[in-house]
Amino acid sequence: MRIRYVNISVPEGLAKAINDYIKEHPELDLRSRAQVVNFALRKLFTEKEEN
């Protein structure tokens, strides 16, 4: 089964912050804004389920 994707818009300032985060944390091996957003959302939902 093929995964379908949707586009999400963020303010330019947040996009810049994501770019900076990628550069500042190479150990996480996150290479795109989409990967950062996926990483953050998974963490958010995992923490929510634990509480």
User: pLDDT tens, 6-49?
Assistant: 999 999 999 999 999 999 999 999 999 999 999 999 999 998 77
pLDDT computed for residue 47 by the predictor: 83
Which residues have a Cβ under 8 Å from the Cβ of 34 and sit 6 or more positions away? Answer: none
51 has a pLDDT exceeding 80: no
Give residue 14's pLDDT: 97
CA distance 19 to 13: 10
| Separation of alpha carbons 28 and 18, rounded Å | 13
CA 25-4-50 angle, 5° bins: 55
